Structure 1
Amino acid sequence: MATSFWTVLDIILKKVRIPLRRGIALIQNSGFNIGTFVIPFVIAFFPSRYMMTVLLFDTGNSIMCIRGNYLIAERIIKGKQQQSVRMIFKKIFASIPLLTYLLTLLLSLLQIQIPQLFLNIASIAGNANPLIAMLMIGVLVDFHIEKCAIRLLVKRLLQRFILMGLLAGIVYATFPISLPSRQMLVLCLLAPISTLGPVYALQLGSDRSESANLNSLSIFVSMILLTVLSMCFV
């Protein structure tokens, strides 16, 4: 379903003739900020057993956020002929966060315990992650926005939350899983845009403030939606 969303979004964006704008629009709308926003809501409102669904969702989401969405957007911009399979794999394995994620996932599957001392050291950096992410967004945000830029931000925001709202409705109404699992998936689908979105959009040639402003607006909308839905689901 998540893969289908990006396909639908790209079809919608195909009326944008310039590949650069299509690629940037895709990366601006991609990914879900689960760790900073959804997980605190789940911890605050729901039993701990509900967390498993959120973590499973974030497993695939993290792979796409760390590198997958960027490679898709770059392929749109540069074209298929300039993107060989070898080049794609080279870019995948050049991402230290993705390699770290895959390594820890492999260790978990093999049931290999990471030493507690190493976890304690890593947790120091991990605990600082939300603050650094929000600081980065704050540095990039620019409140001096032209009228045409405001229209574009509203358009991107509507694309994101209308499609995610439709997908959340389909998941909630049709998925053959337990009600708590469906509720957690709905919360995940309405999470803010990943904080990596502005970084990758900047690398692809986006205006430095455009993606950050969109990300900040998505946080505001998502906080309202997550609060209301969490109170309804309790």
Structure 2
Amino acid sequence: MADIIVQSMVLILIVALGYILKKAGLFDKYDYRVLTKLVMYLTLPCVIVTSFSRFEWKNSLFLIPLMGLAVNCLLQLWAYILCRKGSDEDKIFYMLNTPGFSMGTFALPFIQNTLGAQGVVAACMFDAGGTVMPSGASYVCASAILKRRREKEKISIAFAVKRMLSSPPFLAYICMITLKVLQVELPEIVLRFTGKVSDANAFVCMIMIGMMFEIKLPREKLIKVGKLLVSRIILSAVLSLLIITCLPLERELRNALAIVMFSPIAALSLIFTDKMQGDIELAGFANSLSIICSMVIMTVLMVVLKG
């Protein structure tokens, strides 16, 4: 229990370090984009490859991606209920920021340091199914509800598929799942390389989050953000309870999935909010506040489940 608290506190301190260094002027406002590319194209795929290679594959794991897809569809439906009578700005905000989880840049570093390879695989499998929404499907849904096209790029299911197939972590999921099903092992030199690179993932991710972190308190927008975050937390709590008590998987897998439910809003939500000319300040504030909530809840839940 003490080890989990220490591990979580270390990650939180690294986030604080990234924020302090940014405020001190060591990092430019947009330097986090370099670390984002480093995580998406190198450290995170290496975490996925290393964790899958250390894990004994079971066909029952195919249940997890389906669950990830179902959870995100449920959140998308709830988003529609929240905004169905609201303005276009409200529709963009809720439809794009309610579904989706910040898995690679937030949940995985937490789980990687506390639950090990088994927890990482559970989170990866969940993300393999759940990434459909934040990678483009939510954008398609929001555009359909607004009943208009706001940019020249074609909005379709093909667009969502294209977004997913251009994601290195998603491709890493598919490749490693395929190799595990076919019982193909990677060469030792490859695993040593990915293992060494994956060790840097938690540090790079936490520094990046600290650099992106920005808290503003525009009073007129607090109600919208509160409505969104409270909804996500309540739904996550219900889903976590169902996972722990009902899901036919090993305890370690169930614990990891229960913790994953409280991950922050997906970073891609910010990109698509900007793309649809939504309120990027509101989305950024919601994203930052969701990180704080997730840090606290996930740490407490890890202590409780491991106790």
| TM-score grouping bracket, smaller chain normalisation | 0.7 to 0.9
- Which stretch has the larger CA shift, 148-157 or 208-217? 148-157
Report if the CA contact (8 A) 1:54-1:185 is conserved.
Answer: yes
Matching of residue 10 in structure 1 with residue 85 in structure 2: no
For residue 251 of structure 2, what is the aligned residue in structure 1? Answer: 179
In structure 2, do the counterparts of structure 1 residues 152 and 53 end up closer, same or farther at CA, with 3 Å as the change threshold? same
Matching of residue 206 in structure 1 with residue 278 in structure 2: yes
Equivalent position amino acid for 2:247 in 1: F
Report if the CA contact (8 A) 2:122-2:256 is conserved.
Answer: yes
Counterparts of 2:137 and 2:185 in 1: how far apart (Å)? Answer: 27
For residue 51 of structure 1, what is the aligned residue in structure 2? Answer: 120
For residue 73 of structure 1, what is the aligned residue in structure 2? Answer: 142
Counterparts of 2:301 and 2:107 in 1: how far apart (Å)? Answer: 11
Matching of residue 21 in structure 1 with residue 96 in structure 2: no
Report if the CA contact (8 A) 2:103-2:127 is conserved.
Answer: yes
Give structure 1 stretches of 5+ with no counterpart.
none
CA RMSD of superposed structures (Å):
3.4
Equivalent position amino acid for 2:265 in 1: I
- Which stretch has the larger CA shift, 128-137 or 208-217? 128-137
Report if the CA contact (8 A) 1:19-1:76 is conserved.
Answer: no
- Which stretch has the larger CA shift, 55-64 or 181-190? 55-64
Matching of residue 217 in structure 1 with residue 296 in structure 2: no
Q: What does the per-residue CA deviation read over 1:150-171, in whole Å, with 9 as the maximum and x for residues that have no partner?
A: 2222222112212222222222
Correspondent of 1:189 among 249, 261, 267: 261
Matches within 5 A, 1:48-197: 48-78=117-147, 87-92=155-160, 95=163, 98=166, 100=168, 103-105=171-173, 107-108=175-176, 109=178, 130=205, 134=209, 137-138=212-213, 141=214, 143=216, 145-197=217-269
1:197, distance to aligned residue in structure 2 (A): 1.1
1:64, distance to aligned residue in structure 2 (A): 2.5
Counterparts of 1:198 and 1:97 in 2: how far apart (Å)? Answer: 19
In structure 2, do the counterparts of structure 1 residues 220 and 112 end up closer, same or farther at CA, with 3 Å as the change threshold? same
- Which stretch has the larger CA shift, 54-63 or 106-115? 106-115
Counterparts of 2:145 and 2:99 in 1: how far apart (Å)? Answer: 14
In structure 2, do the counterparts of structure 1 residues 76 and 101 end up closer, same or farther at CA, with 3 Å as the change threshold? farther
Query: Aligned residue pairs: how many?
Result: 222
Counterparts of 1:102 and 1:38 in 2: how far apart (Å)? Answer: 15
Equivalent position amino acid for 2:229 in 1: L
In structure 2, do the counterparts of structure 1 residues 225 and 101 end up closer, same or farther at CA, with 3 Å as the change threshold? closer
Percent sequence identity over matched residues?
20
Equivalent position amino acid for 1:4 in 2: L
